[in-house]
Amino acid sequence: MQLGFNWLNSVLFKHPAIALRPEVPQNAITAACTPAQPGAGGMPSEREAASNAAARGRSNGMDDPEQRWPESRTILIRLLGGLGLLAFVAACVWGGPAIAAQANLPWWAWIALLFVFCFCIGIVSVLAGVGGGVLFVPIVASFFPFHLDFVRGAGLLVALATGLASSPGLLRTGLASFRLALPLGLVASTSAIFGAALGVSLPTNLVQIALGLAIFGIVFLQWRAKKSEHPDVPKADALSAALQISGIYIDVAARKKIEWKVHRTPEALLVFAGIGVVAGMFGLGAGWANVPALNLLMGAPLKVAVATSMLLSTVVGTSAAWVYLNQGAVLAMVTVPSIVGAMLGAFVGVRLLHVVSANVVRKVIILTLTAAGFRALLTGLGI
Protein backbone atom coordinates (compact mmCIF):
# COMPACT_ATOMS: atom_id res chain seq x y z
CA MET A 1 0.00 0.00 0.00
CA GLN A 2 1.22 3.46 -0.87
CA LEU A 3 2.20 5.18 2.33
CA GLY A 4 1.46 8.74 1.24
CA PHE A 5 -2.22 8.06 0.44
CA ASN A 6 -2.09 10.73 -2.26
CA TRP A 7 -3.99 8.37 -4.53
CA LEU A 8 -7.06 8.96 -2.37
CA ASN A 9 -6.86 12.66 -3.13
CA SER A 10 -6.56 11.97 -6.81
CA VAL A 11 -10.01 10.36 -6.58
CA LEU A 12 -11.44 13.76 -5.80
CA PHE A 13 -9.78 15.38 -8.79
CA LYS A 14 -10.53 12.66 -11.31
CA HIS A 15 -14.05 11.78 -10.36
CA PRO A 16 -16.51 12.38 -13.20
CA ALA A 17 -19.55 11.90 -10.97
CA ILE A 18 -18.64 14.86 -8.84
CA ALA A 19 -17.58 16.94 -11.81
CA LEU A 20 -14.05 17.57 -10.62
CA ARG A 21 -11.22 18.25 -13.02
CA PRO A 22 -8.56 15.77 -14.10
CA GLU A 23 -5.58 15.43 -11.82
CA VAL A 24 -2.93 17.99 -12.57
CA PRO A 25 0.65 17.85 -11.31
CA GLN A 26 1.34 19.94 -8.24
CA ASN A 27 3.68 22.26 -10.14
CA ALA A 28 0.80 23.10 -12.46
CA ILE A 29 -1.13 24.43 -9.48
CA THR A 30 1.73 26.80 -8.78
CA ALA A 31 1.89 27.76 -12.43
CA ALA A 32 -1.81 28.51 -12.54
CA CYS A 33 -1.53 31.55 -10.34
CA THR A 34 1.52 33.16 -11.91
CA PRO A 35 1.33 35.67 -14.77
CA ALA A 36 1.00 34.29 -18.29
CA GLN A 37 4.54 33.87 -19.64
CA PRO A 38 4.75 31.01 -22.10
CA GLY A 39 7.38 28.54 -21.13
CA ALA A 40 8.44 30.48 -18.06
CA GLY A 41 6.30 28.99 -15.35
CA GLY A 42 3.08 30.78 -16.27
CA MET A 43 0.99 29.54 -19.20
CA PRO A 44 2.59 26.36 -20.52
CA SER A 45 4.90 26.35 -23.52
CA GLU A 46 3.89 24.34 -26.61
CA ARG A 47 5.97 21.40 -25.46
CA GLU A 48 4.43 21.52 -21.99
CA ALA A 49 0.98 21.85 -23.51
CA ALA A 50 1.60 18.84 -25.75
CA SER A 51 2.89 16.88 -22.80
CA ASN A 52 -0.16 17.85 -20.74
CA ALA A 53 -2.48 16.87 -23.57
CA ALA A 54 -0.77 13.49 -23.82
CA ALA A 55 -1.13 13.06 -20.08
CA ARG A 56 -4.83 13.89 -20.31
CA GLY A 57 -5.17 11.39 -23.12
CA ARG A 58 -3.59 8.71 -20.99
CA SER A 59 -5.75 9.72 -18.08
CA ASN A 60 -9.11 9.46 -19.81
CA GLY A 61 -8.17 6.67 -22.17
CA MET A 62 -9.97 8.29 -25.11
CA ASP A 63 -7.11 9.34 -27.37
CA ASP A 64 -4.86 6.35 -27.07
CA PRO A 65 -6.08 3.52 -29.37
CA GLU A 66 -4.44 0.92 -27.13
CA GLN A 67 -6.61 2.09 -24.26
CA ARG A 68 -9.90 1.67 -26.13
CA TRP A 69 -12.01 -1.31 -25.22
CA PRO A 70 -13.49 -3.39 -28.05
CA GLU A 71 -17.23 -2.79 -28.31
CA SER A 72 -18.09 -6.49 -28.04
CA ARG A 73 -16.13 -6.76 -24.80
CA THR A 74 -17.93 -3.73 -23.40
CA ILE A 75 -21.32 -5.26 -24.27
CA LEU A 76 -20.32 -8.57 -22.70
CA ILE A 77 -19.11 -6.84 -19.53
CA ARG A 78 -22.35 -4.86 -19.30
CA LEU A 79 -24.45 -7.99 -19.85
CA LEU A 80 -22.56 -9.97 -17.22
CA GLY A 81 -22.60 -6.99 -14.91
CA GLY A 82 -26.36 -6.59 -15.34
CA LEU A 83 -27.03 -10.28 -14.66
CA GLY A 84 -24.69 -10.24 -11.66
CA LEU A 85 -26.41 -7.16 -10.33
CA LEU A 86 -29.86 -8.70 -10.69
CA ALA A 87 -28.70 -11.85 -8.89
CA PHE A 88 -27.10 -9.72 -6.19
CA VAL A 89 -30.20 -7.59 -5.67
CA ALA A 90 -32.44 -10.68 -5.53
CA ALA A 91 -30.10 -12.37 -3.05
CA CYS A 92 -29.90 -9.17 -1.03
CA VAL A 93 -33.67 -8.82 -0.73
CA TRP A 94 -34.66 -12.45 -0.27
CA GLY A 95 -31.71 -14.58 0.63
CA GLY A 96 -28.93 -12.61 2.33
CA PRO A 97 -29.27 -13.73 5.95
CA ALA A 98 -30.26 -17.23 4.91
CA ILE A 99 -27.07 -17.54 2.86
CA ALA A 100 -25.01 -16.25 5.79
CA ALA A 101 -26.71 -18.57 8.28
CA GLN A 102 -26.47 -21.71 6.18
CA ALA A 103 -22.98 -21.27 4.79
CA ASN A 104 -20.86 -23.36 7.10
CA LEU A 105 -17.59 -21.64 6.32
CA PRO A 106 -14.48 -21.57 8.52
CA TRP A 107 -13.65 -18.24 10.18
CA TRP A 108 -10.79 -17.45 7.82
CA ALA A 109 -13.05 -17.91 4.78
CA TRP A 110 -15.49 -15.29 6.15
CA ILE A 111 -12.62 -12.90 6.79
CA ALA A 112 -11.16 -13.52 3.31
CA LEU A 113 -14.62 -12.94 1.82
CA LEU A 114 -14.99 -9.77 3.87
CA PHE A 115 -11.62 -8.52 2.62
CA VAL A 116 -12.56 -9.22 -1.02
CA PHE A 117 -15.98 -7.69 -0.51
CA CYS A 118 -14.50 -4.53 1.03
CA PHE A 119 -12.02 -4.37 -1.80
CA CYS A 120 -15.02 -4.29 -4.19
CA ILE A 121 -16.77 -1.70 -2.03
CA GLY A 122 -13.62 0.43 -2.19
CA ILE A 123 -13.68 0.26 -6.00
CA VAL A 124 -17.39 0.93 -6.32
CA SER A 125 -17.46 3.75 -3.79
CA VAL A 126 -14.77 5.58 -5.78
CA LEU A 127 -16.57 4.99 -9.09
CA ALA A 128 -19.91 6.14 -7.69
CA GLY A 129 -18.54 8.94 -5.52
CA VAL A 130 -20.26 7.77 -2.34
CA GLY A 131 -18.68 7.04 1.02
CA GLY A 132 -17.64 3.47 1.79
CA GLY A 133 -19.59 3.29 5.04
CA VAL A 134 -22.95 3.79 3.38
CA LEU A 135 -22.38 0.71 1.20
CA PHE A 136 -20.57 -1.32 3.83
CA VAL A 137 -23.13 -1.39 6.63
CA PRO A 138 -26.34 -2.46 4.86
CA ILE A 139 -24.66 -4.97 2.55
CA VAL A 140 -22.28 -6.58 5.05
CA ALA A 141 -25.16 -6.77 7.54
CA SER A 142 -27.17 -8.66 4.90
CA PHE A 143 -24.56 -11.17 3.74
CA PHE A 144 -22.19 -11.79 6.61
CA PRO A 145 -22.86 -13.54 9.90
CA PHE A 146 -21.58 -10.65 12.05
CA HIS A 147 -23.96 -8.88 14.41
CA LEU A 148 -25.10 -5.42 13.31
CA ASP A 149 -23.14 -3.86 16.22
CA PHE A 150 -19.81 -5.12 14.82
CA VAL A 151 -20.79 -4.18 11.27
CA ARG A 152 -21.62 -0.62 12.33
CA GLY A 153 -18.37 -0.33 14.30
CA ALA A 154 -16.35 -1.50 11.30
CA GLY A 155 -18.34 0.73 8.91
CA LEU A 156 -17.55 3.80 10.95
CA LEU A 157 -13.87 2.93 11.05
CA VAL A 158 -13.78 2.30 7.29
CA ALA A 159 -15.24 5.78 6.73
CA LEU A 160 -12.89 7.27 9.34
CA ALA A 161 -9.74 5.66 7.91
CA THR A 162 -10.55 6.84 4.39
CA GLY A 163 -11.11 10.37 5.65
CA LEU A 164 -7.93 10.34 7.73
CA ALA A 165 -5.85 9.14 4.80
CA SER A 166 -7.10 11.72 2.33
CA SER A 167 -7.45 14.80 4.57
CA PRO A 168 -3.76 15.86 4.87
CA GLY A 169 -3.33 16.35 1.12
CA LEU A 170 -6.65 18.13 0.79
CA LEU A 171 -5.84 20.48 3.67
CA ARG A 172 -2.43 21.26 2.21
CA THR A 173 -3.84 22.26 -1.19
CA GLY A 174 -6.42 24.49 0.45
CA LEU A 175 -9.38 22.56 -0.93
CA ALA A 176 -10.43 21.32 2.49
CA SER A 177 -11.14 24.19 4.86
CA PHE A 178 -10.31 23.75 8.52
CA ARG A 179 -12.32 26.88 9.40
CA LEU A 180 -15.41 25.60 7.62
CA ALA A 181 -15.09 22.23 9.33
CA LEU A 182 -14.60 23.66 12.83
CA PRO A 183 -18.17 24.65 13.84
CA LEU A 184 -19.87 22.01 11.70
CA GLY A 185 -17.61 19.28 13.06
CA LEU A 186 -18.33 20.36 16.63
CA VAL A 187 -22.09 20.10 16.16
CA ALA A 188 -22.02 16.91 14.07
CA SER A 189 -19.56 15.09 16.34
CA THR A 190 -21.59 15.96 19.43
CA SER A 191 -24.78 14.62 17.89
CA ALA A 192 -22.87 11.59 16.55
CA ILE A 193 -22.10 10.58 20.14
CA PHE A 194 -25.81 10.73 20.89
CA GLY A 195 -26.59 8.75 17.71
CA ALA A 196 -23.94 6.11 18.45
CA ALA A 197 -25.05 5.70 22.07
CA LEU A 198 -28.65 5.40 20.90
CA GLY A 199 -27.71 2.91 18.19
CA VAL A 200 -25.82 0.67 20.62
CA SER A 201 -28.65 0.83 23.17
CA LEU A 202 -31.74 0.26 21.01
CA PRO A 203 -32.98 -3.24 20.21
CA THR A 204 -31.35 -4.57 17.03
CA ASN A 205 -34.63 -4.99 15.14
CA LEU A 206 -35.53 -1.35 15.74
CA VAL A 207 -32.11 -0.24 14.51
CA GLN A 208 -32.54 -2.47 11.43
CA ILE A 209 -35.90 -0.85 10.62
CA ALA A 210 -34.46 2.64 11.13
CA LEU A 211 -31.42 1.68 9.03
CA GLY A 212 -33.71 0.58 6.20
CA LEU A 213 -35.56 3.88 6.33
CA ALA A 214 -32.31 5.86 6.53
CA ILE A 215 -30.98 4.00 3.48
CA PHE A 216 -34.13 4.92 1.55
CA GLY A 217 -33.54 8.56 2.51
CA ILE A 218 -29.93 8.35 1.31
CA VAL A 219 -31.05 6.76 -1.97
CA PHE A 220 -33.50 9.61 -2.47
CA LEU A 221 -30.74 12.14 -1.73
CA GLN A 222 -28.32 10.46 -4.16
CA TRP A 223 -31.01 10.27 -6.82
CA ARG A 224 -32.41 13.78 -6.58
CA ALA A 225 -29.63 16.04 -5.28
CA LYS A 226 -28.01 18.14 -7.99
CA LYS A 227 -24.55 19.59 -7.60
CA SER A 228 -23.34 23.08 -8.31
CA GLU A 229 -19.65 23.70 -9.00
CA HIS A 230 -19.69 27.35 -7.96
CA PRO A 231 -22.94 28.19 -6.14
CA ASP A 232 -23.94 31.82 -6.02
CA VAL A 233 -23.47 33.24 -2.52
CA PRO A 234 -24.40 36.92 -2.71
CA LYS A 235 -23.50 37.68 0.90
CA ALA A 236 -21.92 35.73 3.73
CA ASP A 237 -24.27 35.37 6.69
CA ALA A 238 -23.42 37.05 9.98
CA LEU A 239 -22.38 33.84 11.74
CA SER A 240 -20.01 32.68 9.00
CA ALA A 241 -18.55 36.21 8.85
CA ALA A 242 -17.97 36.16 12.62
CA LEU A 243 -16.33 32.74 12.35
CA GLN A 244 -14.27 33.97 9.37
CA ILE A 245 -15.41 31.08 7.21
CA SER A 246 -14.19 31.91 3.74
CA GLY A 247 -11.25 30.96 1.61
CA ILE A 248 -9.39 30.89 -1.65
CA TYR A 249 -8.36 27.92 -3.72
CA ILE A 250 -6.72 27.45 -7.09
CA ASP A 251 -8.90 25.98 -9.83
CA VAL A 252 -6.20 24.44 -11.99
CA ALA A 253 -8.47 23.67 -14.94
CA ALA A 254 -9.92 27.18 -15.05
CA ARG A 255 -6.48 28.62 -14.22
CA LYS A 256 -7.79 31.05 -11.68
CA LYS A 257 -8.10 31.74 -8.00
CA ILE A 258 -11.55 31.07 -6.64
CA GLU A 259 -12.61 33.08 -3.62
CA TRP A 260 -15.51 31.58 -1.74
CA LYS A 261 -17.75 32.32 1.20
CA VAL A 262 -20.80 30.57 2.64
CA HIS A 263 -24.29 31.44 3.79
CA ARG A 264 -27.13 29.82 5.78
CA THR A 265 -24.70 28.75 8.51
CA PRO A 266 -27.32 28.52 11.30
CA GLU A 267 -29.51 26.25 9.15
CA ALA A 268 -26.45 24.18 8.23
CA LEU A 269 -25.60 23.67 11.91
CA LEU A 270 -29.07 22.17 12.41
CA VAL A 271 -28.67 19.92 9.36
CA PHE A 272 -25.25 18.75 10.53
CA ALA A 273 -26.70 17.91 13.93
CA GLY A 274 -29.06 15.53 12.11
CA ILE A 275 -26.28 14.15 9.92
CA GLY A 276 -24.24 13.38 13.03
CA VAL A 277 -27.07 11.41 14.63
CA VAL A 278 -27.61 9.26 11.53
CA ALA A 279 -23.87 8.79 10.94
CA GLY A 280 -23.29 7.67 14.52
CA MET A 281 -26.41 5.59 14.92
CA PHE A 282 -25.92 3.43 11.84
CA GLY A 283 -22.13 3.59 11.44
CA LEU A 284 -22.58 4.99 7.95
CA GLY A 285 -20.09 7.85 8.28
CA ALA A 286 -21.16 11.29 7.14
CA GLY A 287 -19.89 11.50 3.55
CA TRP A 288 -23.30 10.72 2.02
CA ALA A 289 -24.80 13.97 3.33
CA ASN A 290 -21.86 16.32 3.90
CA VAL A 291 -21.38 17.25 0.27
CA PRO A 292 -25.02 18.19 -0.50
CA ALA A 293 -25.24 20.15 2.76
CA LEU A 294 -21.99 22.05 2.19
CA ASN A 295 -22.53 22.60 -1.52
CA LEU A 296 -26.27 23.15 -1.95
CA LEU A 297 -27.22 24.56 1.44
CA MET A 298 -24.16 26.58 2.43
CA GLY A 299 -22.99 27.42 -1.07
CA ALA A 300 -19.42 26.13 -0.75
CA PRO A 301 -17.84 25.39 -4.16
CA LEU A 302 -18.12 21.71 -5.07
CA LYS A 303 -14.40 21.01 -4.72
CA VAL A 304 -14.29 22.67 -1.32
CA ALA A 305 -17.44 20.76 -0.29
CA VAL A 306 -16.03 17.37 -1.34
CA ALA A 307 -12.66 17.98 0.30
CA THR A 308 -14.07 19.46 3.51
CA SER A 309 -16.52 16.55 3.69
CA MET A 310 -13.54 14.19 4.03
CA LEU A 311 -12.15 16.26 6.89
CA LEU A 312 -15.56 16.46 8.57
CA SER A 313 -16.02 12.70 8.31
CA THR A 314 -12.87 12.26 10.42
CA VAL A 315 -14.27 14.44 13.21
CA VAL A 316 -17.72 12.84 13.15
CA GLY A 317 -16.27 9.34 12.80
CA THR A 318 -13.89 9.91 15.69
CA SER A 319 -16.54 10.75 18.26
CA ALA A 320 -18.89 7.92 17.23
CA ALA A 321 -16.04 5.40 16.94
CA TRP A 322 -15.08 5.97 20.60
CA VAL A 323 -18.62 5.03 21.64
CA TYR A 324 -18.55 1.84 19.56
CA LEU A 325 -15.09 0.94 20.85
CA ASN A 326 -16.11 1.50 24.47
CA GLN A 327 -19.22 -0.63 24.02
CA GLY A 328 -17.20 -3.55 22.65
CA ALA A 329 -18.60 -3.15 19.13
CA VAL A 330 -15.19 -3.16 17.43
CA LEU A 331 -13.86 -6.60 16.54
CA ALA A 332 -10.33 -6.41 15.16
CA MET A 333 -10.92 -9.45 12.97
CA VAL A 334 -13.83 -7.68 11.24
CA THR A 335 -12.51 -4.13 11.28
CA VAL A 336 -8.89 -4.35 10.10
CA PRO A 337 -9.53 -6.42 6.93
CA SER A 338 -12.43 -4.08 6.13
CA ILE A 339 -10.25 -0.98 6.41
CA VAL A 340 -7.39 -2.46 4.40
CA GLY A 341 -9.70 -3.97 1.76
CA ALA A 342 -11.63 -0.72 1.27
CA MET A 343 -8.46 1.35 0.99
CA LEU A 344 -6.87 -1.01 -1.54
CA GLY A 345 -10.16 -1.08 -3.47
CA ALA A 346 -10.23 2.71 -3.61
CA PHE A 347 -6.69 2.59 -4.99
CA VAL A 348 -7.83 0.29 -7.82
CA GLY A 349 -11.06 2.25 -8.31
CA VAL A 350 -9.06 5.36 -9.20
CA ARG A 351 -7.43 3.44 -12.02
CA LEU A 352 -10.76 2.11 -13.32
CA LEU A 353 -12.37 5.54 -13.53
CA HIS A 354 -11.56 5.86 -17.24
CA VAL A 355 -13.09 2.53 -18.32
CA VAL A 356 -16.31 2.53 -16.33
CA SER A 357 -19.17 4.97 -16.71
CA ALA A 358 -19.62 6.75 -13.39
CA ASN A 359 -23.26 7.38 -14.24
CA VAL A 360 -23.95 3.66 -14.71
CA VAL A 361 -22.16 2.83 -11.46
CA ARG A 362 -24.19 5.49 -9.70
CA LYS A 363 -27.42 3.87 -10.90
CA VAL A 364 -26.13 0.47 -9.81
CA ILE A 365 -25.37 1.88 -6.37
CA ILE A 366 -28.85 3.37 -6.07
CA LEU A 367 -30.40 0.02 -7.00
CA THR A 368 -28.11 -1.90 -4.66
CA LEU A 369 -28.75 0.46 -1.77
CA THR A 370 -32.51 0.22 -2.36
CA ALA A 371 -32.27 -3.58 -2.18
CA ALA A 372 -30.08 -3.37 0.94
CA GLY A 373 -32.56 -0.93 2.48
CA PHE A 374 -35.41 -3.39 1.83
CA ARG A 375 -33.33 -6.20 3.34
CA ALA A 376 -32.63 -4.16 6.49
CA LEU A 377 -36.32 -3.25 6.78
CA LEU A 378 -37.47 -6.86 6.29
CA THR A 379 -34.88 -8.15 8.79
CA GLY A 380 -36.02 -5.57 11.32
CA LEU A 381 -39.65 -6.60 10.82
CA GLY A 382 -38.69 -10.26 11.20
CA ILE A 383 -39.72 -11.17 7.64
Partner 1 sequence: MAKVRRFVSPEQSAYARWLELGVRIGMAGLLIVFVLYLIGYPAAHVPPDALPRYWGLSAARYLAAVGVQPGWGWLQLVGNGDYLNLVGISFLISLTMVCYLRVLPETWRKGDMISAAIILLQVAVLLFAASGVAVFGHS
Residues 278-317 that bind partner 1 (CB under 8 A): 314-315
Pick 334 or 364: Cβ nearer partner 1: 334
- Asked if residues 250 and 29 have their Cβ atoms less than 8 Å apart, the reply is yes
Pick 92 or 245: Cβ nearer partner 1: 245
Half-sphere exposure for 167 (CA within 13 Å, toward CB): 18
Shortest Cβ 313–partner 1 spacing (Å): 10
Q: Which stretch binds partner 1 (CB under 8 A): 86-94, 118-126, 192-200, 345-353?
A: 192-200
Taking the C-alpha atoms of residue 157 and residue 314, their distance in angstroms, rounded to an integer, is 9
Among 178, 220, 238, 359, binds partner 1 (CB under 8 A): 178
Q: With contacts defined by CB under 8 A, how many residues of the chain interact with partner 1?
A: 84
Determine if 37 is a binding residue for partner 1 (CB under 8 A): no
Pick 129 or 185: Cβ nearer partner 1: 185
Among 52, 60, 67, 190, binds partner 1 (CB under 8 A): 190
Q: Are strands 246-251 and 256-261 parallel, antiparallel or unpaired?
A: antiparallel
Taking the C-alpha atoms of residue 283 and residue 133, their distance in angstroms, rounded to an integer, is 7
Among 238, 242, 270, 381, binds partner 1 (CB under 8 A): 242
Shortest Cβ 259–partner 1 spacing (Å): 10
Which H/E stretch holds residue 261? strand 256-261
Half-sphere exposure for 275 (CA within 13 Å, toward CB): 30
Determine if 72 is a binding residue for partner 1 (CB under 8 A): no
Among 24, 200, 293, 364, binds partner 1 (CB under 8 A): 200
Task: Tell me the β-bridge partners of 246.
Answer: 261
Among 179, 253, 256, 351, binds partner 1 (CB under 8 A): 179
- Asked if residues 143 and 118 have their Cβ atoms less than 8 Å apart, the reply is no
Q: Which stretch binds partner 1 (CB under 8 A): 52-60, 66-74, 178-186, 360-368?
A: 178-186
Applying the rule CB under 8 A, the residues between 83 and 122 that interact with partner 1 are 106-108, 110
What is the distance, to the nearest Å, from the Cα of residue 86 to the centroid of all Cα atoms in its chain?
24
Among 319, 338, 368, 379, binds partner 1 (CB under 8 A): 319
Among 127, 158, 165, 356, binds partner 1 (CB under 8 A): 165
Of 156, 189, 192, give the one whose Cα is nearest residue 339.
156
CA 164 to each of CA 8, 115, 172, 313, 378: distance values in angstroms, whole numbers, following the listed order: 10, 20, 13, 8, 34
Shortest Cβ 130–partner 1 spacing (Å): 22
Of 158, 224, 188, 195, give the one whose Cα is nearest residue 308.
188
Helices (H) and strands (E) in the chain, counts: 16, 2
Determine if 2 is a binding residue for partner 1 (CB under 8 A): no
